[in-house]
């Protein structure tokens, strides 16, 4: 069994240290108030047993809490008092410097929490370590200076989660939709160099990757680009290639027919499209931004965005090539084709591609084949978005999320035109619904009272995020605010006008709806008797967002939080505050947003149908998934799920497995096993457990992770049941 030290390092559990600490406290009291050696041994054994029951690595603080409780349970109150006093004194000493130990443990690569903080960051490489080191300093400043103490305490106790506090000291926002069309058509500036409108498709793709990298280095969340914005450059290249072909034919005295000229032009054009798409895929996979990871970018594929039939045809060529290259994958260091994490792909299901007789049905079949092998693309239903994403004029719109799931709300500009590209999200604060429920003791009156208090806490925390951005000058990130990614403001101009009136959003996240409802009603929220309460909770949070929006003229929006590492943090905090409550706190994770619990038996179609009603009530973003086995030999079933998504739900994905063992060449599902009280990844063929010698890709929270996960998230992945 392992434990987590205060600096994040993971070390073996040592019973002798517990015995020594209790003995030391015992020796400081009068002889007649001391415990016997047998009592001390029993306390230590009880603590060890309690730690084993957690089925995860406990923290030092949790162990000390258990020791305190056991000492008091034995009636040795004087010993307990001395033990508590010692802890308090040590705590004061540690508070004199809160960052040195953590930073040193990061550098030496023995900070277990940092290793598993982000499933797409490699904590060993220097660039990631520099980002984590800067993050620790930022988090320290944030906690000591920038945030009110009650918000800091609520975050540390797991009542709320103040996302990305490691970036809060800087004036940075969360995620955005890059206005690639503006930047390509009207030019941009990258690191002081003017980039003019490209004269070919391949150049446009190259510029796009540079923009992606620059944007990723100036904000901390996800970003999305649309392939539609690259489509006009296909025609630019076509005309350029046609002129070159004609010149070549003239030079050799040949007189090809019109059809021959067209065929030669299209063959060369296809090759240029292949090279351009390859540039995007390989650049995104191999780039490292200033935060030590590949750019968190989503590529949007929506035929309905095209301005005319020619552009739609050219866009289809780009989409086809994108799907073909993702189906192939990328080569790992052994030269084996594996599944990359990025770019994330989103394919829109629409009337032009959803049925067998539709003109672009062939793209949908290719998308299904790609999903079965590489887990992407994910799917957005144009039908449901047009129905549910309605602006103030009553018009529906279909558009992409910002990164993995954060959606903007509909917006109409001063000219009455819908606008999405160039907009962004100011940040996220998540409420822990499970803690609200447990704190109520099952009293409904108390539940709503505590809910109000916690929502107001989130409101104030979100306003801290907003105030931190207010007054930011465009010079802080020229690529974003001056050169078109989000706006074209003047140098020295504050970004304030972009923070109000719905241009940008700010998100109230939520976690653990399943556990909240389960505790309050003794039923899963899928039970017809409990679903109304679950929906009432959702409506209550939306009402709070509406009230805050009217109060501040800021677009507060309810967001189904992904919870990557926070799912584990919330679970540990709940266990510390409430102990092990069967069915509620007995696992190392809290359920994401409104999702059906991962262990609940439910078929794919019923799951999507049930969760659709909660997506509609999460306008700031949400995604649903179905867990499926290897579907590469059953593409028809994948297509049936896709058709169901089109008819019933805004945004969904299929989760399969895509792994490879570098030791023995096993190409299948790497298993999760338990050894020495810890969950590890293990090849079922050769028994390899070296994470550096295997490629594992799993969908964690709407996006694919490839750098492994903390113990809570790993347990959640292990517990998942198949829905198909």
Quote the CA–CA distance of 278 and 378 in Å, as a whole number. 20
Query: Is the predicted pLDDT of residue 487 greater than 50, yes or no?
Result: yes
Q: Which of 7, 165, 174, 655 is an active site residue?
A: 174
Residue-wise pLDDT for 432-456, tens only, equals 999 999 999 999 999 999 999 999 9
| Closest to 563 measured CA to CA, from 671, 716, 455 | 716
Residue-wise pLDDT for 174-230, tens only, equals 999 999 999 999 999 998 999 999 999 999 999 999 999 999 989 998 999 999 999
Q: Which of 202, 406, 565, 655 is an active site residue?
A: 406
Residue-wise pLDDT for 101-116, tens only, equals 655 555 555 555 555 5
Quote the CA–CA distance of 487 and 479 in Å, as a whole number. 9
Residue 217 annotated as catalytic: no
Would you say residue 226 lies in a domain? no
Residue 559 annotated as catalytic: yes
Q: Which of 402, 458, 486, 520 is an active site residue?
A: 402
Quote the CA–CA distance of 63 and 44 in Å, as a whole number. 10
**Residues in CB range of 306: below 8 A, 6 or more apart:** 228, 231, 312, 315
Residue 7 annotated as catalytic: no
Would you say residue 371 lies in a domain? no
Q: Tell me, what's the pLDDT at 99?
A: 57
Residue 375 annotated as catalytic: no
Would you say residue 16 lies in a domain? yes
Total tally of structural domains belonging to the chain: 1
Q: Tell me, what's the pLDDT at 267?
A: 97
Whether the CB-CB separation of 215 and 479 falls below 8 Å is answered with yes
Q: Which of 158, 702, 705, 712 is an active site residue?
A: 702
pLDDT band at 98 (very low <50, low <70, confident <90, very high): low
Q: Which of 398, 404, 486, 516 is an active site residue?
A: 404
Would you say residue 29 lies in a domain? yes
Containing domain of residue 32, as a range? 1-96
Give the position of tokens 């989503």: 298
Query: Is the predicted pLDDT of residue 119 greater than 50, yes or no?
Result: no
Would you say residue 357 lies in a domain? no
pLDDT band at 692 (very low <50, low <70, confident <90, very high): confident
Residue 642 annotated as catalytic: no
Beta-strand ranges (E) seen in 656-714 are 660-661, 671-675, 678-682, 694-695, 698-699, 704-705
Residue-wise pLDDT for 621-664, tens only, equals 999 999 999 899 999 999 999 999 999 999 999 998 878 899 99
Would you say residue 724 lies in a domain? no
pLDDT band at 100 (very low <50, low <70, confident <90, very high): low
Would you say residue 222 lies in a domain? no
Q: Kind and range of the H or E element at 195?
A: strand 193-195
Residue 406 annotated as catalytic: yes
Q: Which of 35, 172, 175, 375 is an active site residue?
A: 175
Q: Which tokens belong to 607?
A: 């799951």
Would you say residue 708 lies in a domain? no
Q: Which of 350, 564, 611, 653 is an active site residue?
A: 564
What are 576-584's contacts with CB under 8 Å, separation 24+? 576/61, 576/62, 576/65, 577/157, 577/158, 577/435, 577/438, 578/438, 580/53, 581/438, 581/519, 583/515, 583/518, 584/434, 584/438, 584/515, 584/518, 584/519
Residue 687 annotated as catalytic: no
Q: Tell me, what's the pLDDT at 423?
A: 98
Q: Which of 143, 425, 557, 710 is an active site residue?
A: 425
Residue 174 annotated as catalytic: yes
**What percent of the chain lies above the pLDDT cut of 90?**
70
DSSP 221-243: S-EEEEGGGTTHHHHHHHHHHHH
In this structure, is the dihedral angle defined by the CA atoms of residues 411, 416, 422 and 426, taken in order, positive or negative? negative
Residue 538 annotated as catalytic: no
């Amino acid at each position: 069994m392992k434990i987590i030290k205060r600096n994040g390092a993971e070390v073996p559990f040592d019973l002798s240290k517990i015995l020594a600490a209790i003995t030391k406290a015992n020796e400081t009291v009068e002889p007649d108030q001391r415990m016997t050696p047998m009592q001390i041994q029993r306390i230590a054994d009880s603590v060890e047993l309690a730690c084993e029951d957690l089925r995860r690595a406990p923290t030092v603080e949790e162990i000390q809490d258990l020791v305190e409780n056991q000492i008091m349970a034995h009636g040795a109150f004087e010993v307990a008092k001395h033990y508590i006093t010692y802890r308090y004194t040590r705590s004061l000493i540690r508070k004199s410097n809160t960052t040195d130990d953590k930073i040193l443990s990061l550098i030496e690569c023995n900070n277990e929490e940092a290793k598993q903080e982000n499933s797409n960051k490699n904590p060993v490489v220097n660039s990631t370590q520099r980002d984590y080191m800067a993050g620790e300093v930022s988090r320290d400043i944030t906690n000591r200076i920038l945030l009110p103490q009650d918000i800091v305490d609520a975050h540390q106790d797991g009542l709320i989660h103040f996302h990305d506090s490691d970036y809060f000291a800087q004036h940075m926002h969360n995620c955005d939709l890059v206005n690639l069309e503006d930047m390509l058509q009207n030019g941009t500036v990258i690191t002081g160099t003017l980039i003019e409108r490209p004269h070919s498709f391949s150049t446009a793709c190259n510029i796009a990757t540079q923009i992606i990298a620059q944007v990723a280095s100036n904000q901390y969340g996800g970003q999305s680009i649309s392939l539609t914005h690259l489509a006009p450059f296909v025609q630019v290249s076509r005309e350029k290639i046609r002129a070159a072909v004609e010149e070549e034919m003239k030079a050799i005295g040949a007189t090809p027919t019109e059809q021959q000229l067209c065929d030669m032009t299209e063959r060369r054009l296809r090759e240029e499209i292949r090279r351009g798409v390859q540039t995007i895929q390989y650049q995104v996979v191999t780039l490292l931004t200033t935060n030590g990871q590949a750019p968190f970018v989503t590529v949007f594929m929506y035929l309905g965005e095209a301005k005319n039939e020619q552009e739609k045809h050219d866009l289809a060529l780009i989409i086809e090539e994108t799907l073909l290259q993702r189906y192939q994958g990328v080569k790992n260091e052994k030269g084996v084709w594996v599944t990359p994490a990025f770019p994330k792909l989103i394919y829109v299901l629409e009337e032009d591609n959803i049925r067998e007789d539709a003109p672009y049905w062939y793209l949908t079949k290719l998308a299904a084949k790609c999903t079965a092998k590489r887990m992407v693309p994910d799917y957005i239903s144009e039908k449901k978005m047009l129905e549910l994403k309605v602006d103030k004029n009553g018009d529906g719109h279909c558009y992409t999320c910002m990164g993995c799931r954060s959606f903007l709300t509909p917006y109409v500009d001063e000219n009455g035109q819908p606008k999405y590209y160039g907009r962004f999200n100011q940040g996220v604060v998540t409420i822990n619904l499970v803690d609200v429920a447990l704190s109520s003791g099952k009293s409904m009156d108390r539940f709503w009272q505590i809910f109000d208090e916690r929502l107001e806490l989130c409101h104030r925390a979100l306003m801290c995020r907003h105030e931190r951005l207010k007054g930011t000058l465009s010079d802080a990130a020229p690529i974003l605010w001056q050169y078109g990614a989000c706006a074209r403001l003047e140098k020295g101009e504050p970004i304030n006008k972009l923070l109000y009136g719905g241009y940008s959003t700010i998100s109230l996240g939520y976690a653990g709806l399943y556990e909240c409802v389960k505790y309050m009603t003794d039923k899963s929220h899928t039970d017809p008797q409990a679903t109304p309460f679950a929906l009432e909770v959702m409506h209550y949070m939306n009402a709070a967002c509406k009230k805050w929006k009217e109060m501040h003229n800021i677009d507060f929006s309810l967001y189904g939080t992904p919870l990557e590492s926070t799912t584990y943090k919330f679970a540990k905090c709940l266990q510390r505050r409430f102990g092990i409550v069967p069915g509620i706190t007995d696992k190392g994770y809290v359920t994401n947003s409104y999702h059906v619990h991962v262990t609940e038996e439910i078929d794919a179609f019923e799951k999507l149908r049930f969760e659709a009603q909660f997506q509609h009530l999460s306008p700031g973003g949400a995604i649903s998934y179905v867990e499926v086995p290897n579907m590469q030999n059953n593409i028809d079933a994948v297509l049936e799920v896709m058709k169901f998504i089109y008819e019933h739900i805004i945004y969904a994905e299929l989760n399969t497995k895509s792994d490879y063992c570098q030791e023995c060449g096993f190409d299948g599902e790497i298993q999760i096993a338990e050894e020495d009280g810890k969950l590890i990844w293990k090849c079922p063929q050769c028994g390899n457990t070296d994470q550096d010698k295997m490629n594992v890709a799993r969908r964690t929270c709407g996006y694919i992770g490839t750098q492994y996960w903390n113990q809570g998230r790993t347990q959640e992945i292990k517990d998942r049941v198949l829905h198909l």
